[in-house]
Amino acid sequence: MCVELFSLRDKVAVVTGAGKGLGKSMAIALAESGASVAVVSRTQSEVEEAAKEIRDNGGNALPLVVDVTREVEVVGMVERVMSEYKSIDILVNNVGAFKGGPFIESTIEDWKKMMNINLTGTYLCSKIVGMRMIEKQKGKIINVSSALGVLGASGSSAYCVSKGGVIQLTRALAIEWAKYNINVNSIAPYSMETETTKSMMEDEKVKKAVLSKIPLKRIGQPSDLSGVVVFLAASASDYITGQVIFVDGGFSVQ
C-alpha cells in the first residue's frame, strides 16, 4: 500500500528546464517512479541527451525544445504532449535564472530578465497546462522556487523578488484550484551543485561562506530533490497544497 502511494505508473509529467541540473535530475526521478516525462528546455542537445538517458534506463521520454517565456511555444508544447500522451498529470516548473550584484548597479533589463524567466514562465506553463488539468479535474503542479524567495539576500534583489513571486503564485493557485482537485506546491532549494554553481564553489572563500550558513555543512546535490518531487507528484501528497518545502540543509531555520 505504501509503495503504491509513491507510484507514478501511467502518469504523464512535464518538466521545464529539464535539460540539465536540477530539472534533469527531477525528470529522471519521475521517470524512475513510472511517469512518462516530457523533457523541456531551450537547448535541443540537452533535452535529447536527457530523454535518451531516461529511455536507456527503461523509461518513456519526449524531448521538447521550448522557450517557456513565449506563450505560443507553451501552447504548442501542451498540444504536442497531449497528442503524444493524451494527458498531463504533473507539471514541474523548474526553469530559472540568476544574476546577482548590487541593486543600485542593476539595470531594468536585468530586472525584466529575472521576472520573465523565473516568474512569467511559471505563470504561462501553469495557466496553459492548468486548463487541461481543470478539464480533467485533477493534477499536480510543483513550482521550483528558492529559499531566497522567502528570506532574501544581499546582491540578489531581482532573483529574490521573482522567486518570492513564484511562492505567492503557488499559494494563490492552491486556493483557487483546490475545487478542481489540483494540488499546487513549491520546492525551495538553497545552494545546490549544478553546472552553473560548480565553478563558484571552486573559490574556497565562497564555498566556506556558503557552508557556514548550512547546518548540514554540505552543498545540496540535484538528487536531493528527487524524493521531494516524487512525493509531491504522487498520491502520497494528495492532502498537501499551497506549501513550500525547503530543501536547503537547514539554511532556512537559522
Provide the b/e sequence for 25-41 (b: ≥16 CB within 10 Å). Answer: bbbbbbbbbbbbbbbbb
Three-state SS for the chain is: CHHHHCCCCCCEEEEECCCCHHHHHHHHHHHHCCCEEEEEECCHHHHHHHHHHHHHCCCEEEEEECCCCCHHHHHHHHHHHHHHHCCCCEEEECCCCCCCCCHHHCCHHHHHHHHHHHHHHHHHHHHHHHHHHHHHCCEEEEEECCCHHHHCCCCCHHHHHHHHHHHHHHHHHHHHCHHHCEEEEEEEECCECCHHHHCHHHCHHHHHHHHCCCCCCCCECHHHHHHHHHHHHCHHHCCCCCCEEEECCCHHHC
Positions annotated as catalytic residues are 159
CA 24 to chain centroid: 10
